[in-house]
């Protein structure tokens, strides 16, 4: 296993939550021959290994990095199924951390946890949220992610595990299922193209940070190579009101979206602003794609799909 200061350019990567859409995007980007990609899921199947296999010492010894995307809830579904993270996600995380701790120090893969920026921080404190700000999650999902972060930080401090926690904003630019209750831009784009109404939570004044998926992937590439330790925000660093995003999509597509407004749920963060300066200072990464350009590219991709 290479030292954290000099990782190889070619890596063997283990991705949990392998059947998720974001995992598929990552797998496509970090594909062979550049890297070897192993996808893990709760159930094995063609192209997927069972999560239990990732606990094997020899498997860990052959793995350069674990990208831990596996999570059983979204912000909305977390409220519908209280306690699910404590039953499923946190025990699974504890198993992986225990397996890593049991490995000799020189054979431990880099562990990368995909947390949530907006959900963990809660509403921004009058400026973009930074990694050392107090966290005030307003929903069960954010509280569970924060608990997972605490578990990882304690394991890293006590046992010297090489860990990176990425507090990610809202990646977009790739398709998501119509039934998934998350992803403003892909759902709004679909509604524009198909002439369907879009249901919005609140009055459209909520602010969110949207990160184009190629910027997300390039940041992840840098993190894999440079292995910055601790918590890092991964975001565009510029938030936009929801209604502003809708108007951008209407302008790009030339189509009006009929909006159905519903009360904002209590767990939805209204003012999400995230500062990615720490990640830039640690790795040199900066986002390149503006929201307007990202929406234009996403619309073009929709037409080609």
User: Under the phi-then-psi rule, with left for phi > 0, alpha for psi from -120 to 50, and beta for the rest, what region is 28?
Assistant: alpha
The confidence score (pLDDT) of residue 6 equals 43
The confidence score (pLDDT) of residue 305 equals 53
Domain that holds residue 46: 12-173+211-237+276-288
Position 42 in a domain: yes
Structural domains of the chain, count: 1
Position 215 in a domain: yes
The CATH number given to whatever domain includes residue 150 is 3.40.50.720
How many whole angstroms separate alpha carbon 261 and alpha carbon 284?
40
pTM for the model: 0.94
Average pLDDT by consecutive 10-residue portion of the chain (305 residues)?
49 96 94 88 94 96 97 95 97 98 94 97 97 97 98 97 98 86 90 95 96 98 97 98 97 96 95 98 98 95 65
Position 293 in a domain: no
The confidence score (pLDDT) of residue 267 equals 94
The confidence score (pLDDT) of residue 294 equals 97
Alpha-carbon distance values, 165 to 71, 91, 118, 197, 260 (Å) = 15, 18, 14, 37, 36
The confidence score (pLDDT) of residue 304 equals 55
């Amino acid at each position: 296993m290479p030292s954290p200061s000099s990782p190889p350019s070619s890596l063997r990567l283990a991705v949990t939550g392998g059947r998720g859409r974001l995992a598929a995007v990552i797998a496509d980007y970090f594909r062979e021959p550049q890297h070897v990609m192993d996808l893990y899921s709760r159930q094995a199947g063609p192209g997927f290994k069972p999560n239990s296999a990732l606990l094997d010492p020899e498997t860990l010894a052959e793995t350069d990095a674990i990208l831990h995307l596996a999570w059983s809830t979204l912000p909305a579904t977390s409220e519908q199924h209280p306690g699910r993270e404590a039953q499923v996600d946190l025990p699974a995380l504890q198993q992986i951390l225990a397996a890593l701790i049991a490995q000799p120090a020189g054979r431990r893969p880099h562990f990368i946890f995909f947390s949530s920026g907006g959900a963990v921080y809660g509403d921004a404190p009058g400026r973009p949220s930074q990694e050392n700000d107090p966290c005030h999650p307003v929903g069960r999902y954010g509280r569970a992610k924060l608990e997972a972060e605490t578990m990882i930080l304690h394991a890293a401090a006590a046992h010297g595990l090489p860990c990176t926690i990425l507090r990610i904003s809202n990646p977009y630019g790739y398709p998501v299922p119509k039934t998934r209750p998350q992803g403003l831009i892909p759902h709004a784009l679909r509604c524009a193209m198909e002439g369907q109404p879009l249901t919005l939570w609140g009055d459209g004044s909520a602010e969110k940070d949207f990160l184009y998926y190629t910027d997300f992937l390039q940041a992840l590439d840098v993190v894999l190579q440079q292995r910055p330790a601790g918590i890092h925000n991964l975001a565009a660093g510029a938030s936009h009101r929801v209604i502003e995003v809708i108007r951008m999509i209407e302008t790009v597509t030339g189509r009006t979206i009929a909006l159905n407004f519903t009360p904002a749920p209590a767990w939805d963060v209204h003012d999400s602003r995230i500062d990615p300066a720490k990640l830039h200072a640690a790795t040199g990464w900066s986002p390149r794609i503006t929201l307007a350009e990202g929406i234009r590219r996403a619309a073009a991709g929709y037409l080609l799909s």
